[in-house]
């Protein structure tokens, strides 16, 4: 550290998928069911652990009506030295960049939804509200994560009610056992827990 | 939209400060008091509005003991088509990049604090927990923002208690009237409210 401007005169943050996403994700596939969508999020979480690119969390944004995949996200906190980059946040950022809009509910856009391998933490639940998605589908439960010593932050029943009141629907516990397995896989591997 | 991979085969998100930050921010200055720190956050919020680069919110990360400025952040949601980029989030990301660490509380680092022109929204409060800062200093209150029709999301007294229990101290209402003025300035200018 010295007296220079941080990171040089024009610090810039760059966020990209891990290289394996190009191998694993079929961008032309349409997902017909919630189970199929959550299984993609779980696959991303598992690959992230097995390939050593981050924590056991994956997410994706879909068009609700067509099942068309818009973006994916994997926990990238350690890889990119950035505590904000949970899987859901990466998926939102990539979807917004792809559509050139800060809101996935901008006029003219079809309805979008977030699919995630685990109930969102407090930060990601807040990001969900600002993202423009109107539906959220989750795999593992908050309780599964906290039992394995992942902190989910200040999320209360009132937090979900707040988002529901603003037109966001939640479907939770889809393929929960499969989703929990990835959390356990990570725990067995003693990976770094970046939300200690 | 077509069948190609989103944004090309290697989509990348780039996040940089607005150009005026280099003119406005003195990186060598040390801030001695909370008032001085909050006034920098308010200045950033005001410049962001007046220069048309975003919403009326500014933030900064400081070393607590020395008052040394580590990073700043301005609301960049509309500018960068990215709903996650509230002032606090940008300040955290820039600080973590500067220090090369996903946690501002990593071993060997001095204690860090977040200073923000307005109470953090639900997303930013969650991000605060994961950031590693141990102290948060706020200007305008949640009530000031919501009266002006900015949604702050699901934040409850229990949310603050949750963070306090994990060792994060809060000082709120510093230079509150000055901070509120920037929210009102933005409202009078009828700028886009991206958290409608």
CB atoms A81 and B96 under 8 Å = yes
Residue, of B194 and B17, whose pLDDT is higher = B17
**How near does any CA of chain B get to the CA of A13, in Å?**
5
Mean pLDDT of chain B: 92
Interval A114-125: pLDDT, tens:
999 999 999 999
**How near does any CA of chain A get to the CA of B3, in Å?**
6
pLDDT confidence of residue B59: 98
pLDDT confidence of residue B129: 98
pLDDT confidence of residue B70: 96
High-pLDDT (> 90) share of chain B, %:
88
CA distance linking residue B172 with residue B128, whole number of Å? 15
Q: Which residue from A minimizes the CA distance to B16?
A: A12
Interval B143-170: pLDDT, tens:
999 998 899 999 999 999 999 999 999 9
Sign of the torsion formed by the C-alpha atoms of A72, A76, A82 and A86: positive
Residue A189 pLDDT grade (very low, low, confident, very high; cuts 50, 70, 90)? confident
Domain membership of residue B43 (yes or no) is yes
pLDDT confidence of residue A193: 53
Query: Is residue B190's pLDDT more than 70?
Result: no
Longest dimension (CA), chain A: 55
Range of the domain at A90: 30-188
CB B154 within 8 A of CB B142: no
Domain membership of residue A193 (yes or no) is no
- Tell me the whole-structure pTM to 2 decimals: 0.94
Residues of B in contact with A101 (CB under 8 A): 81
Name the helix (H) or strand (E) containing A61.
strand A58-63
CB atoms A82 and B98 under 8 Å = no
CB A18 within 8 A of CB A154: no
Query: Is residue A103's pLDDT more than 50?
Result: yes
Question: CATH no. for residue A126?
Answer: 3.40.140.10
CB B36 within 8 A of CB B16: no
CB A61 within 8 A of CB A111: no
Mean pLDDT of chain A: 92
CB A183 within 8 A of CB A56: yes
Domain membership of residue B3 (yes or no) is no
Residue A195 pLDDT grade (very low, low, confident, very high; cuts 50, 70, 90)? very low
Sign of the torsion formed by the C-alpha atoms of A85, B121, B105 and A4: positive
| Rg of chain A taking only CA atoms, in angstroms | 16
Domain membership of residue A16 (yes or no) is no
Domain membership of residue B12 (yes or no) is no
pLDDT confidence of residue A11: 82
Interval A3-57: pLDDT, tens:
344 444 468 999 999 999 999 999 998 999 999 999 999 999 999 999 999 999 9
Q: Identify which of A1, A14, A127 has the shortest CB distance to residue B84.
A: A127
High-pLDDT (> 90) share of chain A, %:
88
CA distance linking residue A20 with residue A37, whole number of Å? 19
CB B5 within 8 A of CB A22: yes
Give the Å distances, CA to CA, from A114 to A87, A169, B124, B180: 11, 10, 19, 34
Mean pLDDT to the nearest integer, B48-77: 97
pLDDT confidence of residue B189: 85
CB atoms B12 and A14 under 8 Å = yes
Residue A191 pLDDT grade (very low, low, confident, very high; cuts 50, 70, 90)? low
Residue B88 appears among annotated catalytic residues: yes
Quote the DSSP letter at residue A12.
Answer: E
CB atoms A82 and B102 under 8 Å = yes
Mean pLDDT to the nearest integer, B91-100: 97
Query: Is residue A160's pLDDT more than 50?
Result: yes
Using DSSP, state whether A135 is helix, strand or coil. Answer: strand
Domain membership of residue B184 (yes or no) is yes
pLDDT confidence of residue A92: 98
Residue A2 pLDDT grade (very low, low, confident, very high; cuts 50, 70, 90)? very low
Q: Of these residues, A47, A88, A113, A152, which one is catalytic?
A: A88
Cα–Cα nearest to B159, from A96, A121, A15: A121
Mean pLDDT to the nearest integer, B37-43: 98
Interval B102-139: pLDDT, tens:
999 999 999 999 999 999 999 999 999 999 999 999 99
Number of domains in chain B: 1
CB atoms A14 and B16 under 8 Å = no
Query: Is residue A102's pLDDT more than 90?
Result: yes
Query: Is residue B1's pLDDT more than 80?
Result: no
Domain membership of residue B114 (yes or no) is yes
Q: Which residue from A minimizes the CA distance to B27?
A: A5
Domain membership of residue B150 (yes or no) is yes
pLDDT confidence of residue B192: 55
ipTM confidence score: 0.93
Sign of the torsion formed by the C-alpha atoms of B100, B105, B108 and B113: positive
Query: Is residue A192's pLDDT more than 70?
Result: no
**How near does any CA of chain B get to the CA of A181, in Å?**
24
- In the numeric block, which tokens belong to residue B195? 């958290």
pLDDT confidence of residue A4: 43
Q: Identify which of A16, A151, A158 has the shortest CB distance to residue B10.
A: A16
């Amino acid at each position: 550290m010295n007296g220079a401007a941080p990171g040089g005169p024009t610090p810039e943050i760059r966020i990209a998928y891990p290289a394996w996403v190009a191998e694993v994700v079929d961008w032309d596939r349409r997902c017909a069911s919630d189970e199929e969508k959550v299984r993609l999020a779980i696959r991303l979480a598992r690959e992230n652990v097995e390939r050593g690119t981050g924590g056991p969390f994956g997410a994706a944004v879909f068009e609700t009506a067509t099942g068309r995949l818009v973006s994916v996200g994997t926990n990238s906190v350690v890889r990119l030295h950035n505590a904000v980059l949970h899987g859901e946040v990466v998926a939102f950022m990539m979807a917004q960049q792809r559509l050139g809009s800060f809101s996935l509910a901008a006029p003219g856009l079809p309805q979008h939804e977030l699919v995630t391998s685990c109930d969102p933490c407090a930060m990601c639940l807040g990001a969900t509200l600002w993202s423009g998605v109107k539906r959220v589908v989750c795999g593992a439960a908050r309780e599964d994560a906290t039992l394995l010593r992942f902190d989910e932050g200040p999320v209360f029943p009132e937090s979900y009610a707040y988002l529901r009141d603003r037109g966001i629907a939640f479907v939770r516990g889809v393929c929960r056992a499969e989703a929990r397995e990835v959390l356990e896989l990570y725990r067995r591997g003693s990976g770094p827990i970046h939300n200690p």
